[in-house]
Structure 1
Amino acid sequence: MVAFGKKLKQRQIEEWQRYYINYKLMKKKVKQYAQQIEVGMQDRRHVLKDFSRMLDNQIEKIVLFLLEQQGLLASRISKLGEKHNALQHQPDISQICELREAYRDVGRDLLKLLFFVEVNAIGLRKILKKFDKRFGYRFTDYYVKTRANHPYSQLQQVFKHVGIGAVVGAVSRNLHELQDRQGSYLSIYDQPALPLQDPVIDSIKAAVDRLTHSTNFLNFLAQHALIMQEELPTPVGEHVDDQKYHFISLILNLANTFLYMVNTYIIVPTADDYSMSLGAAATVCGVVIGSMAVAQVFSSVYFSAWSNKSYFRPLVFSSIVLFVGNTLYALAFDLHSIWVLLIGRLFCGLGSARAVNRRYISDCVPLKYRMQASAGFVSASALGMACGPAFAGLLQTDFKIYKLTFNQVTLPGWVMAVAWLIYLIWLWISFKEPPHDETEENQMPQESNAETVENDGLEKGLKQPLLISSEDQQQDEDGDLECDESEEASEESRRPATSIQSAYRLLTPSVKVQLLIYFMLKYAMEILLSESSVVTTYYFGWSTSKVAIFLACIGLTVLPVNIVVGSYISNMFEDRQILLASEIMVCIGILLSFHIIVPYSVVQYVGSGLIMFVSAEVLEGVNLSLLSRVMSSRLSRGTYNGGLLSTEAGTLARVVADGTITLAGYLGESRLLNITLLPSLVICISSILATCYTYNSLY
């Protein structure tokens, strides 16, 4: 097992090693501070000041070297520019080829410089986190607040690569002019639609995007999956093991995701009618819808554990259980039993293999395809969410075959039972079980990438105890032994969490706040969707078809919203700014949904519902992005991983929301809307306050 400090050193460019952040020295310094405080030789104020000065010196060393290298690159580009200008008057194919290769050499050196900056940015975040974890007070909060927005901030030079953009632009423009149209000298500004066919520029663009946290639609969409990437940047040309990758198996995983989401939401428009046909109240639809989520709380854990040994077997089991569950759901009408109906939905929840779907992408899809696969996972979920109610709206018929009834309330069950049977056959024929490491649980966890890692310092306030417990003194989340001078990590400290309790101990205040936000947004969305049929029937007299159209339209907003946010908004504002703004918009949507005095209108309901849902969808992307960034790297793999924790938080939110709908129904349908919105409002306001408290730790 390799500790982070040693891993960081291995990724350094050898000839530049003395210009990198001295992570090992600073880690030792943190240990010395702890010893000095224990014996009363130092106070916290002096430690804070001394460590800040040391960190400032380290950053200045990095920045000055960065500026020096930028100057050297600029000088080389200037000299090449003179040759470039000369060729415009006397074009020569061989000289153009030489010049293009010279620009590529500059591009490769620029890529090395970007790699240098990225590794240092990760090291800085790690040492800030280590300081916070060791002493238990908010040094990161203080340091970021005082340095990040200062007009002379050198911290911005590292994290925002100030000045490198001009070098990137110069190399890109000249290589664009010299690409395979020798002598044409087309400008990148005049022909923006023409692709730049050069792998060096593609690599530079990817490195700049990682460093600046800039993103695109695919990136932003992929963040919703909370599938961890590499922590440290991968050197150019490093081999990626593709032996586990099988395209059809990936498609089958995505198909499972799609069908499960269709299965979840296909009953929403008719659940209240089904409940009443079996002699129950319309608001029992909350229990009917939520029973699937109740079972999913447990199924997520055993499926996640099962995926340590196999992917094929849990997917087969999932398909069989879902086939049985949907058959029972459909038969409940003729058996006239609400209990059969609920058991059927519980079976459907027990067949939830989303943990397997997510784990397959994380473990078996090569890094170069993982972002697209993660985006596919989210897209399949969103499409299934929209298609479920839409299919329900189309199933408006009523007939019998022998003693079996096929109508709008039973057809969702029959249709999904057939769909899972067909999927099971396809799965059995086409799925390829990847090579599986039996000891995967004991391996070093895969770290997340530069955008998704390091900031999980403990923000416990200056009044908290100075030192953490003796157990935590011996080892930290990175796997570095604080009581040992070596950079080797203990095997135990590198292992993934082995239980819910050990996973919970790794949750810092920042992580807990992000999980609270995820709980809040899933709760608000579930309240909106699950009670829509009852509320719209009571206030507006909507038919099943109208409810289905409304829910389908809401579901279809997911991808367009992510396109706008991923392509534009996320590149204009920081994630934490979008997070706070989205929470406020969700709160506004909730407030506008209340029925107070004036007659309740379709415009008010649909408008407030769209504001709430769209804001929650934006919030989900940035929330999971920040969650992966502040979460311990030990939660990136294993059974009790970050994906499982977020799934459990979201599933519990759905369970509580659906239970709230059923309980509120006892007070009458006239009070249902306001009573169910009150908890949403309280949780939303709490999450906003909690976000403000941890805001500076989300840098």
Structure 2
Amino acid sequence: MVAFGKKLKERQIQEWQGYYINYKLMKKKVKQYAYQIEIGALERRQVLKDFSKMLDNQIEKIVLFLLEQQGLLASRIAKLGEQQESLSEEPDISKMSELRESYRAVGRDLLQLLFFVEMNAIGLRKILKKFDKRFGYRFTDYYVKTRANHPYSQLQQVFKHVGLGAVVGAISRNLGDLQDRQGSYLSIYDQPALPLQDSVVDSIKAAVDRMGHSTNFLHFLAQHALIMQEELPTPTEEHADDDRYHFMSLLLNLVNTFLYMVNTYIIVPTADDYSLSLGAAATVCGIVIGAMAVAQIFASVYFSAWSNKSYFKPLVFSSIVLIVGNTMYALAYDLNSIAVLLVGRLFCGLGSARAVNRRYISDCVPLKTRMQASAGFVSASALGMACGPALAGLLQTNFKIYKLTFNQDTLPGWVMSIAWLIYLIWLWISFKEPSRDIEEKHVHQGDNADQEQSEAIEKGLAQPLLLGSQDNQQDEDADQECDGSEEAPEDSRLPATSIASAYRLLTPSVKVQLLIYFMLKYAMEILLSESSVITTYYFSWSTSAVAIFLACLGLTVLPVNIVVGTYISNMFEDRQILLASEIMVCVGILLSFHIIIPYSVPQYVFSGLITFVFAEVLEGVNLSLLSRVMSSRLSRGTYNGGLLSTEAGTIARVIADATITMAGYLGDSRLLNTTLLPSLVICIASIIATCCTYNSLY
């Protein structure tokens, strides 16, 4: 993988090169500061003062150039406006065509300026993250708070592209006015925004939205998948190798995602009854449900590693294991064995191929359709989550064929076994294994980089201060770059090779985001897994009633994401939505406690809805922020950000299900409050942690 500094230089507009952030210089200064502090030549206060001044100078250079270019663009638009005014009196088709092309030329230059601003904003975020990595993660908080909130903020010019909106509006309006067909509208301000006037305006709008993190429904939904996009903007869209992309293979990955989520939640309404029928306590349902998640912790790692070599084989293995697991789950009733039931669920967890599904989208789907594929991944998960309980509610029957019993407890196992068998046949016939030529090329490049770097070190080209201490050396491995020369190869840019190396890349901001993800998955699992026991004890709900309740919760996922992705995320910053959602999840948990007697259905349904809905909102925003604050080394490879978030969520589910079973020993009357208490504590802890790292989420 190419180093950020080198990639930044390659994508710079050559005539503007002197006005970009000097990322390489500032990176060297960070290392020099670390060395000087270590030997006692500088104090931290001096470092903060000196680096702040350097950043201020860099930002001022960028902003003054930006203002100069805005002025030039405004001047060109003003002159074109005068020509347009004269043409309105004496229309000339050829001159109007020339005028339109002139506006487009201004638009293309504006697009270059937007890329200039965006690349500098990314560079600033990267250098702030690097500084925090070395000096305790306090500088970004201080710098953003003092600079971004100042009335004369130059930082806002870079991060919020202040002033460019007027230029965008002028070009859009004038190009709109020059369209051959205006319909009944007077200007762009009077007509709907969706049919944009010109392809140049389309590109400009996309760039502005990306800089401001504006989202639509698809974009917001795709963020849930935590599938990395290109880090730096490019004037021309880059595509993945289309030879590696096969629509039917993508569809099979999405169907796998859907079926696995159905498989996960189809047993939730009946797990307590099944446990009772086998002579165990109803709260053993926590272990039954959680056994799948326990196995998934290990499955996620080996499937992620396996997907480095193949996509087809792990999907086949997943399907076979799931057929076996679901068959064992169904047979446990006639064998009267809770052990067979649990082993069956463990097998189902070992068949979790979500890491493969995610990796296929990340590695094989072209950039132009990756967002839609990511949104499809999340939609398939949400639909499976809703369909699982709904399907369980429909399987209310009881009959025997020979010695096999088919009832509401065993039918989920039999139905899923048949579904996975059909899927396996479809997979075998239709899946196309993508070419590995590109990935092998990257591996060879990585090997060459290792060899070249070894030679460079032998020749004494490495910086002396890199050898100052073992901690500094590890920091450099985590922070990616060797500064001996601009062309220095960097094996430290390769993906993390172990859980330990991935953990070393986690900054406090990333750790907080993973804690939040853990919290929301824990709260959701407590709500869903104990729903059958709680509603039976307090309200005497039937299996069908529980299934309807859980299905309705699942059906809220897509509408909630439509509202948040289309409107709320464009009105507020992600970090504001994050904190507000955490508080609302906390409110939902508080409302769920059994304090007022009697415990009512409206209280349970309302509090559960608040907890679930805002946990869903929180998930999208949390993963969006996580993708921005996470090291780029975690974007690919076995131990990627998607795997880390999956592991955090899966561990949360395991602990939640174990909590339900352990709390069951206190009796059903104490189950609700006992299980909600850890949720409340973790939620409050995540809110405090978010407040502590709030300004680093910029």
Give the TM-score, by structure 2 length.
Answer: 0.94
**Structure 1 counterpart of 2:344:** 344
| CA offset digits 1:128-174 (Å, max 9, x no partner) | 12222233351111111111111111000000000000111111122
Q: Distance in 2 between matches of 1:157 and 1:431?
A: 49
Report the secondary structure of 1:666's partner residue: helix
Report the secondary structure of 1:292's partner residue: helix
Are 1:443 and 1:495, in contact at CA under 8 Å, matched by a contact in 2? no
Report the secondary structure of 1:533's partner residue: helix
The structure-2 alpha-carbon separation of the partners of 1:441 and 1:322, relative to structure 1 and needing over 3 Å to count, comes to farther
Are 1:176 and 1:186, in contact at CA under 8 Å, matched by a contact in 2? no
Are 1:272 and 1:283, in contact at CA under 8 Å, matched by a contact in 2? yes
Aligned partner letter, 2:410:
T
Q: Distance in 1 between matches of 2:240 and 2:296?
A: 34
**Structure 1 counterpart of 2:654:** 655
Between 1:65-74 and 1:191-200, the stretch displaced more is 191-200
Are 1:478 and 1:633, in contact at CA under 8 Å, matched by a contact in 2? no
Are 2:134 and 2:475, in contact at CA under 8 Å, matched by a contact in 1? no
The structure-2 alpha-carbon separation of the partners of 1:320 and 1:100, relative to structure 1 and needing over 3 Å to count, comes to same
Aligned partner letter, 1:373:
A
**Structure 2 counterpart of 1:324:** 324
Q: Does 1:537 align with 2:566?
A: no
1:323 to partner: Cα distance: 1.0
The structure-2 alpha-carbon separation of the partners of 1:691 and 1:398, relative to structure 1 and needing over 3 Å to count, comes to same
**Structure 2 counterpart of 1:566:** 565
**Structure 2 counterpart of 1:459:** none
Report the secondary structure of 2:267's partner residue: coil
| CA offset digits 1:355-379 (Å, max 9, x no partner) | 0000001100111111111111111
The structure-2 alpha-carbon separation of the partners of 1:670 and 1:194, relative to structure 1 and needing over 3 Å to count, comes to closer
Q: Distance in 2 between matches of 1:123 and 1:494?
A: 16
**Structure 1 counterpart of 2:465:** none
**Structure 1 counterpart of 2:74:** 74
Aligned partner letter, 2:697:
L
Q: Distance in 2 between matches of 1:340 and 1:186?
A: 72
Are 1:582 and 1:618, in contact at CA under 8 Å, matched by a contact in 2? yes
Are 1:441 and 1:496, in contact at CA under 8 Å, matched by a contact in 2? no
Aligned partner letter, 2:547:
A
Q: Distance in 2 between matches of 1:337 and 1:503?
A: 41
| CA offset digits 1:550-591 (Å, max 9, x no partner) | 000001111111111111111111111111111111111101
Q: Distance in 2 between matches of 1:611 and 1:552?
A: 15
1:214 to partner: Cα distance: 1.3
| CA offset digits 1:603-634 (Å, max 9, x no partner) | 00000000101111111111111111111111
**Structure 2 counterpart of 1:472:** 473
Q: Distance in 2 between matches of 1:184 and 1:564?
A: 30
Are 1:3 and 1:487, in contact at CA under 8 Å, matched by a contact in 2? no
Q: Distance in 1 between matches of 2:245 and 2:129?
A: 35
Residues 356-395 of structure 1 correspond to what in structure 2 (within 5 A)? Answer: 356-395=356-395
The structure-2 alpha-carbon separation of the partners of 1:328 and 1:197, relative to structure 1 and needing over 3 Å to count, comes to farther
Q: Distance in 2 between matches of 1:337 and 1:306?
A: 33
Between 1:291-300 and 1:18-27, the stretch displaced more is 18-27
Q: Which has the higher contact order (CA 8 A, sep 6+)?
A: 1
| CA offset digits 1:219-272 (Å, max 9, x no partner) | 111111111111111232555532211111111111100010001001111111
Q: Does 1:33 align with 2:33?
A: yes
Are 2:172 and 2:197, in contact at CA under 8 Å, matched by a contact in 1? no
1:441 to partner: Cα distance: 6.2
Report the secondary structure of 1:587's partner residue: helix
Are 2:386 and 2:551, in contact at CA under 8 Å, matched by a contact in 1? yes
Are 1:299 and 1:350, in contact at CA under 8 Å, matched by a contact in 2? yes
1:440 to partner: Cα distance: 5.5
Q: Does 1:671 align with 2:654?
A: no
**Structure 1 counterpart of 2:455:** none
Are 1:177 and 1:184, in contact at CA under 8 Å, matched by a contact in 2? no
1:391 to partner: Cα distance: 0.7
Are 2:241 and 2:364, in contact at CA under 8 Å, matched by a contact in 1? no
The structure-2 alpha-carbon separation of the partners of 1:662 and 1:43, relative to structure 1 and needing over 3 Å to count, comes to same
Aligned partner letter, 2:496:
A
**Structure 1 counterpart of 2:153:** 153
The structure-2 alpha-carbon separation of the partners of 1:669 and 1:480, relative to structure 1 and needing over 3 Å to count, comes to same
Are 2:239 and 2:368, in contact at CA under 8 Å, matched by a contact in 1? no
Are 1:2 and 1:487, in contact at CA under 8 Å, matched by a contact in 2? no
Q: If each structure's helix is expressed as a fraction of its own residues, which one has the higher value?
A: 2
What do you get for the CA RMSD once the two structures are aligned? 1.9
1:76 to partner: Cα distance: 1.2
**Structure 1 counterpart of 2:462:** none
Report the secondary structure of 1:308's partner residue: coil
Are 2:21 and 2:120, in contact at CA under 8 Å, matched by a contact in 1? yes
Q: Distance in 2 between matches of 1:164 and 1:444?
A: 41
| CA offset digits 1:399-421 (Å, max 9, x no partner) | 22222211111111111111111
Q: Distance in 2 between matches of 1:171 and 1:614?
A: 41
Aligned partner letter, 1:695:
Y
Between 1:243-252 and 1:89-98, the stretch displaced more is 89-98
Are 2:176 and 2:188, in contact at CA under 8 Å, matched by a contact in 1? yes
1:674 to partner: Cα distance: 0.5
Residues 152-301 of structure 1 correspond to what in structure 2 (within 5 A)? Answer: 152-181=152-181, 186-192=186-192, 195-236=195-236, 238=238, 240-301=240-301
Between 1:575-584 and 1:23-32, the stretch displaced more is 23-32
Residues 276-675 of structure 1 correspond to what in structure 2 (within 5 A)? Answer: 276-436=276-436, 437-438=439-440, 469-472=470-473, 475-481=476-482, 484-675=483-674
Q: Distance in 2 between matches of 1:208 and 1:45?
A: 37
Aligned partner letter, 2:379:
S
The structure-2 alpha-carbon separation of the partners of 1:217 and 1:638, relative to structure 1 and needing over 3 Å to count, comes to same
Report the secondary structure of 1:399's partner residue: strand
1:86 to partner: Cα distance: 2.8
Q: Distance in 1 between matches of 2:67 and 2:266?
A: 58
Q: Distance in 1 between matches of 2:28 and 2:490?
A: 21
Report the secondary structure of 1:151's partner residue: coil
The structure-2 alpha-carbon separation of the partners of 1:418 and 1:24, relative to structure 1 and needing over 3 Å to count, comes to same
1:2 to partner: Cα distance: 3.5
Q: Distance in 2 between matches of 1:444 and 1:190?
A: 55
Are 1:136 and 1:468, in contact at CA under 8 Å, matched by a contact in 2? no
The structure-2 alpha-carbon separation of the partners of 1:569 and 1:504, relative to structure 1 and needing over 3 Å to count, comes to same
1:494 to partner: Cα distance: 1.4
Aligned partner letter, 1:650:
G
The structure-2 alpha-carbon separation of the partners of 1:504 and 1:441, relative to structure 1 and needing over 3 Å to count, comes to farther
Are 2:262 and 2:388, in contact at CA under 8 Å, matched by a contact in 1? yes
1:426 to partner: Cα distance: 0.9
The structure-2 alpha-carbon separation of the partners of 1:496 and 1:415, relative to structure 1 and needing over 3 Å to count, comes to same
The structure-2 alpha-carbon separation of the partners of 1:547 and 1:194, relative to structure 1 and needing over 3 Å to count, comes to closer
Between 1:623-632 and 1:521-530, the stretch displaced more is 623-632
The structure-2 alpha-carbon separation of the partners of 1:72 and 1:404, relative to structure 1 and needing over 3 Å to count, comes to same
Q: Distance in 2 between matches of 1:477 and 1:87?
A: 60
Structure 1 unaligned segments of length 5 or more: list them: 446-466
Structure 2 unaligned segments of length 5 or more: list them: 448-467
